């Protein structure tokens, strides 16, 4: 099945999610809240779907908030080093024979479980900011890609809105479009696409994390925002924002 044909077919089956799955740490709470916002997760997926091939490696699958939209690819490998998340993923996607959950960090790859040059696409969504040496991680993305494959990265944007939530979640940094492109080039990846997304979210994050110094994602406000996403995504499709809460860069091996 070619990627072009895949994009024209019916949307993949959405695996069920158990919202009651929550650990006391901030990251787990955030993932559980984001598991309830279908439109937002699909917005992220829709922003990267055109860059996905037939064999995909997802770096840091968490609770599967984005994984649920990747089920139509021929081969999907999900890296997840944490036992609790990995067990949850295994149960959630157990009926999907094209999905494999690997108990690995990107720093451990490539290896005999996740081979060099094995993937058309390496997808890393809201994970790279948790890795101290981001360029070294991007180098590993490049090594895992087949010739012509794509590294697809989405990260929090705008260093000036870095605040209490970022620190509590273990974010080493927020990026600009320029800084993420520079990291790609330093890793031997040629940026071929880049954009900001979620302008409204940037101001919301600034207000909550910088001004109010809150450390968690608000549940009610997040679900209210999710109801606005179809309209917001349509507007940004017509008028791409100059800044946003997130930034996406796609790169190929140089």
- Residue 29, token pair as written in the block: 């709470």
Q: How many Å apart are CA 179 and CA 198, to the nearest integer?
A: 18
Q: How many Å apart are CA 110 and CA 115, to the nearest integer?
A: 5
Predicted local distance difference test score (pLDDT) of residue 253:
84
Residue-wise pLDDT tens digits, 168-218? 999 999 999 999 999 999 999 999 999 999 999 999 999 999 999 999 999
Q: How many Å apart are CA 188 and CA 115, to the nearest integer?
A: 19
- C-alpha 211: how far from chain center: 26
CB atoms within 10 A of CB 66: 22
Extended strands (E) in 67-188? 75-79, 99-102, 119-125, 145-156
Given the candidates 3.40.50.80, 3.40.50.150, 3.30.710.10, 3.50.50.60, the CATH classification of the domain at 3-253 is 3.40.50.150
What are the CB-based long-range contacts (under 8 Å, 24+) for 25-29? Answer: 26/165, 26/168, 26/169, 26/215, 26/216, 27/169, 27/170, 28/84, 29/216, 29/217
This prediction has a pTM of 0.90
Residue-wise pLDDT tens digits, 72-107? 999 999 999 999 999 999 999 999 999 999 999 999
- The residue to which tokens 């924002």 are assigned: 241
Residue-wise pLDDT tens digits, 18-45? 444 445 578 888 888 899 999 999 999 9
pLDDT at 10 over 90: no
Predicted local distance difference test score (pLDDT) of residue 29:
80
């Amino acid at each position: 099945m070619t990627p072009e044909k895949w994009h024209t077919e019916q949307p993949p089956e959405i695996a069920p999610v158990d919202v009651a799955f929550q650990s006391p740490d901030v990251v787990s709470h955030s993932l559980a809240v984001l598991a309830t916002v279908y439109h937002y997760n699909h917005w992220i997926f829709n922003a990267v779907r055109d860059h996905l091939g037939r064999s995909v490696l997802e770096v840091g699958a968490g609770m599967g908030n984005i994984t649920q939209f990747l089920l139509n690819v021929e081969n999907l490998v999900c890296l997840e080093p944490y036992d609790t998340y990995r067990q949850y993923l295994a149960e959630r996607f157990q009926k999907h024979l094209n999905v494999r959950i690997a108990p690995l960090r990107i720093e451990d790859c490539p290896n005999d479980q996740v081979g060099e040059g094995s993937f058309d696409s390496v997808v890393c969504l809201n994970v790279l900011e948790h890795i101290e040496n981001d360029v070294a991680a991007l180098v590993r993305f490049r090594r895992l890609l087949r010739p012509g494959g794509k590294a697809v990265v989405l990260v929090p944007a705008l260093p000036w809105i870095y605040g209490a939530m970022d620190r509590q979640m273990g974010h080493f940094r927020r990026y600009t479009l320029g800084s993420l492109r520079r990291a790609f080039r330093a890793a031997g990846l040629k940026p071929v696409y880049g954009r900001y997304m979620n302008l409204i979210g940037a101001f919301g994050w600034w207000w909550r994390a910088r001004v109010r110094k809150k450390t968690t994602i608000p549940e009610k406000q997040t679900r209210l925002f999710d109801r606005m996403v179809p309209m917001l995504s349509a507007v940004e499709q017509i008028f791409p924002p100059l800044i946003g809460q997130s930034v996406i860069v796609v790169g190929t091996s140089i």
